[in-house]
Amino acid sequence: MIGPRDKQVDCLVDTECGIRAGLHPVDLVRAHARRHPLRHRLAIVAPNTVDAVQYAGGFIFDRMMGGWEVVAVLTEHDDVRPLEILGATVLDLTTALASPVHATWPESVLLAPDVFVSNEWVRRGAIGCLDKGLSELAVWGDDLPDELACRVSSAHHRLSTAARAFKRCALGAAGIAERADEDLEIFHSGEVLLADLRGRQALVRAV
């Protein structure tokens, strides 16, 4: 993670400077990534905190605990505390897309299908991931766009005990009730995502 904030960061994230508390400045996050090019990175692209936590909260936490740096890029971000509980760094989608292209690209991208449909830049990036192998791409939800449905296969992630506990806390912070039997998160993946730094498989193909 990025570590203690210095005075420059405090100014950039202060609400009086025009950025909501809890969001991280894109340029500083990317500078951090360039200083640590060998770290595995997962990017979550979602419309809001609630969707990210509901569909992928356990996956986010297990990736973070496995040594990955996890960045959640959101369209709406009124309350990012639930994602911070899971260990994610939160960015604003519009600001991230407006910034110059950076050299460090995430190995894995987890995407909400409605953002794929509503944002042309996200759509192009996702198709590029599949066409060029830029990153391993997974999508959540059952109502997939036709462009993705024919190119991905069903997969799941089994939450660790710790992930279930932290996801429960994150759901509570977001005001969402947890289902008692929720120990799997279901995705659709172009490829099975990379193992974490401890060698554990991230997603498992449905059989």
Task: Write out pLDDT tens, residues 161-193.
Answer: 999 999 999 999 999 887 666 789 999 988 666
Strand pairing of 184-189 and 136-140? antiparallel
The structure tokens listed for 140 are 């959540």
Q: Could you tell me the CATH number of the domain that includes residue 116? A: 3.40.50.10320
- Dist. CA 141–CA 56, nearest whole Å: 10
- Dist. CA 101–CA 184, nearest whole Å: 34
Check pLDDT > 90 for residue 59: yes
Q: What pLDDT sits at residue 205?
A: 67
Q: What is the DSSP string of 52-66?
A: HHHHHHHHHHHHHHT
The mean pLDDT value for 70-89 works out to: 90
Q: What pLDDT sits at residue 136?
A: 85
User: Is 18 inside a domain boundary?
Assistant: no
Q: What pLDDT sits at residue 199?
A: 58
- Dist. CA 74–CA 205, nearest whole Å: 27
Neighbours of 34 (CB within 10 A): 10
Q: What pLDDT sits at residue 3?
A: 37
Q: What pLDDT sits at residue 35?
A: 65
- Dist. CA 115–CA 170, nearest whole Å: 22
Check pLDDT > 70 for residue 197: no
User: Is 105 inside a domain boundary?
Assistant: yes
Check pLDDT > 70 for residue 200: no
Q: Is residue 50 a contact partner of residue 73, using CB atoms and an 8 Å limit?
A: no
Q: What pLDDT sits at residue 149?
A: 87
Neighbours of 57 (CB within 10 A): 31
What percentage of the chain has pLDDT greater than the value 90?
36
User: Is 54 inside a domain boundary?
Assistant: yes
Q: How many domains does the chain have?
A: 1
* Stronger pLDDT, 128 or 29, i.e. the higher one: 128
> Residues, the chain, total?
207
User: Is 7 inside a domain boundary?
Assistant: no
User: Is 17 inside a domain boundary?
Assistant: no
Q: Where in the sequence is the domain holding 150, given as residue range(s)?
A: 26-30+38-192
User: Is 86 inside a domain boundary?
Assistant: yes
Check pLDDT > 60 for residue 4: no
Backbone angles phi, psi at 124, to 5 degrees: -60, -40
Q: Is residue 159 a contact partner of residue 54, using CB atoms and an 8 Å limit?
A: no
The mean pLDDT value for 56-74 works out to: 92
Check pLDDT > 70 for residue 28: no
How do residues 93-108 score in pLDDT, each as one tens digit?
887 777 665 556 788 8
Q: Given pLDDT bands bounded at 50, 70 and 90, which one contains residue 14?
A: very low
The structure tokens listed for 203 are 């997603």
User: Is 3 inside a domain boundary?
Assistant: no
User: Is 157 inside a domain boundary?
Assistant: yes
